[in-house]
């Protein structure tokens, strides 16, 4: 059923303003045309046949105005404009206003306009004719006096034409602004090209009619021929435009029509939002059919086309008259629903669509089950333009597919390709590409360049495989170097130099005391607040799950300061660095290794969450750059520690993408050889999720790394699948118990049972066990009682840059737990 023309009704809430404008235009029209109309009564008997001919044609043509295809009747073109403007040029204002009023009354009756609207239309034309007549009076006048036309006459006619169009179009646009709301100029500009082409052509035809009337009234009807030709050409053009906005298969509006509709609706709803109206939400629903490809592949595209036609018919029945249903192509449809109170109404519409698609479609006796996934984006909550709403609806639709759901509303956390994340990815690429090249000057853990002698002995400068060896030698003065921290590290690493300094600091790796020390009286000094950079204490910079996927990644060594040119290149993208968290042997308290954790301080966002960073990088080729960077920096840091006499094993996480090719094994082998680092000093941590992604390819890469001598650790053990199978088949050396179990083992018997059984199982298979997330003394004691090999967590130390780790190692005192009544693991009560 055709909807009523909205311009026939007066808008609620704006009656006074709109009615005042209409009354003002009608009053002005009466004022300017009263005297000319009274004068017409005396002149009517003296008007020539040419006038009456034009008057009859004007009224007759407006009985059937031209309505372009695909447009509302509000965009109709009235041919009477041509004749009434010609009458104005030849016989003055009174006759023109009278004929125009009769033509408007006829067209208004034909198009079922209300009385007040017909009156306003007649008044608007009267005002436009009066303004044009005023311009004509400024010229010499006398177009029918028989004299040749002069250039001043042409200028006067041109000025009158422009004035008529400006006044008429301005009055109509202002009325629309008061009727529907919105900004005046955008609304006026939208229909200006069409009005210039249609109404402007009729106005320019008027002088031709006047010229024909000067010769003979019989020539006037001939103008109907070009008018009819223009009419037909315009209709054909309109039909082609309409076809260009329709889908040829289903007859629904296509993407072009959807763009125009959303743009118009966004403009209207923006005004509703500004007025704080309740129905100010606009919903864009994107529908993607499920299993449609299966139909095409199995039954052919012809059956697929019939299915689309049937689906479109069902959707038409669901969508109301006020909403727009469009087919975007393939098996994608879109619905634009306006005037909603919120997301609940949009969901109700989506549920009706789901119900319509739930019933199988029967084609040739074969029931086809399609179904669909629907994504919803709302204006203004999820976007304020077509492009944003369309993209967010698409994100929501794929979110629904991934969750095996039917309907999803856009959520920012589901948008993995937002403009913000794309910008973050671009910044990440810049900071990685601007990083220091291979073969950099080897620097110590504090960031100072190592003396050339030490670098040479470490095999870094030459790329050899010379190993650092400590030999007893006579005491000699420390190498002259301005960095006191490096001197402390060298002193702590040399047993001879360490003796005088033992009471003050000690060394990083110390033989456990003969008598166990109770941590209650002398617990490990995890972090000295005075020596810790606020960065390592800031929760935003601390890895939420040490050793977990959030810490996967690479980065340059924070200890190595970049040169001026590099700083200039990366200033706009921030700085990537590596933090290191110690791993401590529980039984002895000895620091046996560290885990490398990624940190990126962004100039605008601050410390970027590691999980978000990896999530962004893993979807692009930037992950390869990131992996290369972390391998280079961690291996280089191991070389620095070796040069300083510190023997640590460093563990770094790798992503699924890294394990799908053998490139990571080649990269590690090359860097180990270049920096002269023993393979046993490096360990890779992989998750069970990575193993499940592509077991065959991942196993091949892990096997190559194992052959190189690089240890493999299974991270987040217990959170994935087929764990026992992995323990049996893979060349593993270590298992890391996930922090989700360790954190609760002191209070939860289930978690405690999982941790203990994991330790027993790994021990039976000859694997080392590391517990992550140790944050209190009781958990530390429980792990010792359970036989866990090593642990990491805030109980010992938080992740810290390399230079802070060197200072921490210099202060650290190894501690061993002693038996305690609190060390009994909680057990579940019998059920």
Residues with catalytic annotation? 772
Q: Is the dihedral of CA 759, 762, 763, 769 positive or negative?
A: negative
The two tokens of residue 387 are: 């492009």
Residue 377, beta-bridge partner list = 284
Strands 790-792 and 591-602: unpaired
Residue among 606, 595, 656 at smallest CA distance from 627? 656
651 touches 546 (CB < 8 A)? no
> What's 44's DSSP letter?
G
Alpha-carbon distance values, 830 to 748, 749, 751, 755, 827 (Å): 14, 11, 16, 19, 9
Compute how many other C-beta atoms are within 10 angstroms of the C-beta atom of residue 475. 10
> What's 788's DSSP letter?
-
Phi, psi of 581 (to 5 degrees): -115, 125
What secondary structure does DSSP assign to 669-688, as a single string? HHHHHHHT--GGGEEEEEEH
Rg (CA), the chain: 41
Distance CA 639, CA 440 (A): 12
Distance CA 799, CA 627 (A): 20
Chain Cα centroid distance, residue 156: 56
Compute how many other C-beta atoms are within 10 angstroms of the C-beta atom of residue 719. 17
Residue among 590, 596, 634 at smallest CA distance from 800? 596
Region of 33 please: left (phi>0), alpha (psi -120 to 50) or beta: alpha
- Please give the helix or strand (H or E) that residue 547 lies within, else none: none
Residue 201, beta-bridge partner list = none
Residue among 296, 284, 288 at smallest CA distance from 401? 288
807 touches 561 (CB < 8 A)? no
Alpha-carbon distance values, 141 to 86, 134, 188, 256 (Å): 14, 11, 33, 49
User: Looking up tokens 């994935």, which residue turns up?
Assistant: 720
Q: Is the peptide bond before 380 cis (omega within 30 degrees of 0)?
A: yes
Distance CA 443, CA 109 (A): 92
Distance CA 74, CA 399 (A): 41
Alpha-carbon distance values, 350 to 286, 318, 337, 355, 565 (Å): 10, 10, 11, 9, 56
Strand ranges of the sheet holding 324-329, from the earlier edge strand across to the other edge:
324-329, 332-340, 281-289, 372-379, 407-409
């Amino acid at each position: 059923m055709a909807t009523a023309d909205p311009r026939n009704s007066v808008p609620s809430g704006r009656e006074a303003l709109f009615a005042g404008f209409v009354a003002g235009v009608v009053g002005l029209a009466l004022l300017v045309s009263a005297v000319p109309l009274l004068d017409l009564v005396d002149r009517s008997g003296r008007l020539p046949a040419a006038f009456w001919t034009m008057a009859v044609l004007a009224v007759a043509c407006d009985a059937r105005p031209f309505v372009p295809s695909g447009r509302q009747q509000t965009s109709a073109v009235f041919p009477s404009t041509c004749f009434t403007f010609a009458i104005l040029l030849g016989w003055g204002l009174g006759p023109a206003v009278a004929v125009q009023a009769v033509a408007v009354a006829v067209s208004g009756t034909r198009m079922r306009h209300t009385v007040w609207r017909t009156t306003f239309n007649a008044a608007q034309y009267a005002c436009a004719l009066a303004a044009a007549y005023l311009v004509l009076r400024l010229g010499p006048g006398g177009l029918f006096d028989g004299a040749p036309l002069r250039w001043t006459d042409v200028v006067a006619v041109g000025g009158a034409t422009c004035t008529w169009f400006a006044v008429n179009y301005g009055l109509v646009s202002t009325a629309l602004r008061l009727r529907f709301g919105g900004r005046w100029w955008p609304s006026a500009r939208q229909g200006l090209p069409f009005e210039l082409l249609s109404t402007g052509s009729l106005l320019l035809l008027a002088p031709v009619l006047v010229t024909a009337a000067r010769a003979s009234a019989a020539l006037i009807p001939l103008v109907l021929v070009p008018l009819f030709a223009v009419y037909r050409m315009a209709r054909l053009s309109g039909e082609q435009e309409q076809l260009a906005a329709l889908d040829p298969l289903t007859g629904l509006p296509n993407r072009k029509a959807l763009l125009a509709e959303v743009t118009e609706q966004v403009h209207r709803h923006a005004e509703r939002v500004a007025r704080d109206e309740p129905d100010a939400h606009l919903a864009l629903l994107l529908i993607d059919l499920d299993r449609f490809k299966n139909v095409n592949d199995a039954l052919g595209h012809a059956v697929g086309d019939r299915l689309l036609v049937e689906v479109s018919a069902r959707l038409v029945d669901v969508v109301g008259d006020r909403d727009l249903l469009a087919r975007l192509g393939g098996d994608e449809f879109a619905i634009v629903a306006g005037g909603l109170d919120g997301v609940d109404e949009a969901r109700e519409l989506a549920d009706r669509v789901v119900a319509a698609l739930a019933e199988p479609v029967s084609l040739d006796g074969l029931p086809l089950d399609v179904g669909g996934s629907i994504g919803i984006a709302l204006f203004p909550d999820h976007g304020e333009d077509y492009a944003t709403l369309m993209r967010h609806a698409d994100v929501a639709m794929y979110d629904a597919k991934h969750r095996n759901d039917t309907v999803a509303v856009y959520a920012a956390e589901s948008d993995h390709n937002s403009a913000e994340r794309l910008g973050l990815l671009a910044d990440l690429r810049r900071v990685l590409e601007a990083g220091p090249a291979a073969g950099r000057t080897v620097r110590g853990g504090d960031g100072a360049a190592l003396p050339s002698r030490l670098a040479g002995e470490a095999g870094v400068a030459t790329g050899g495989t010379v190993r650092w060896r400590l030999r007893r030698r006579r005491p000699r003065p420390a190498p002259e170097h301005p960095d006191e921290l490096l001197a402390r590290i060298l002193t702590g690493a040399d047993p001879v130099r360490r003796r005088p300094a033992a009471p003050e600091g000690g060394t990083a790796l110390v033989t456990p005391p003969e008598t166990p020390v109770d941590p209650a009286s002398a617990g490990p000094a995890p972090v000295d607040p005075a020596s810790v950079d606020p960065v390592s204490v800031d929760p935003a910079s601390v890895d939420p799950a040490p050793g977990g996927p959030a810490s996967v990644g690479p980065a340059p060594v924070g200890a190595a300061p970049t040169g001026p040119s590099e700083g200039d290149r990366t200033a706009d993208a921030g700085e990537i660095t590596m933090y290191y968290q110690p791993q401590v042997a529980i039984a002895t308290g000895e620091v046996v290794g560290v885990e490398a954790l990624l940190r990126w301080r962004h100039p605008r966002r601050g410390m970027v969450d590691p999980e978000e960073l990896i999530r962004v990088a893993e979807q692009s080729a930037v992950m390869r750059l990131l992996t290369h960077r972390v391998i280079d920096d961690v291996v280089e840091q191991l070389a620095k520690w070796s040069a300083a006499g510190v023997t640590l094993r460093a563990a770094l996480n790798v992503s699924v993408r890294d394990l799908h090719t053998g490139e990571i094994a080649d990269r590690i082998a090359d860097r180990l050889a270049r920096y002269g680092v023993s393979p046993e000093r490096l360990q890779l941590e992989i998750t069970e999720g990575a193993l499940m992604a592509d077991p065959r390819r991942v196993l091949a890469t892990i096997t190559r790394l194992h052959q190189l001598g690089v240890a493999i650790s299974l991270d987040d053990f217990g959170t994935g699948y087929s764990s026992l199978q992995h323990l049996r088949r893979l060349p593993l050396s270590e298992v890391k118990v996930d922090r989700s179990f360790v954190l609760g083992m002191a209070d939860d018997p289930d978690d405690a049972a999982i941790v203990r059984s994991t330790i027993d199982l790994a021990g039976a298979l000859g694997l080392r066990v590391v517990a992550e997330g140790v944050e209190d003394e009781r958990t530390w004691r429980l792990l010792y009682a359970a036989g866990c090999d090593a642990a990491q967590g805030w109980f010992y130390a938080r992740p810290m840059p390399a230079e802070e780790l060197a200072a921490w190692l210099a202060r650290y005192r190894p501690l061993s737990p002693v038996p305690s009544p609190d060390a009994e693991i909680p057990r579940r009560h019998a059920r």
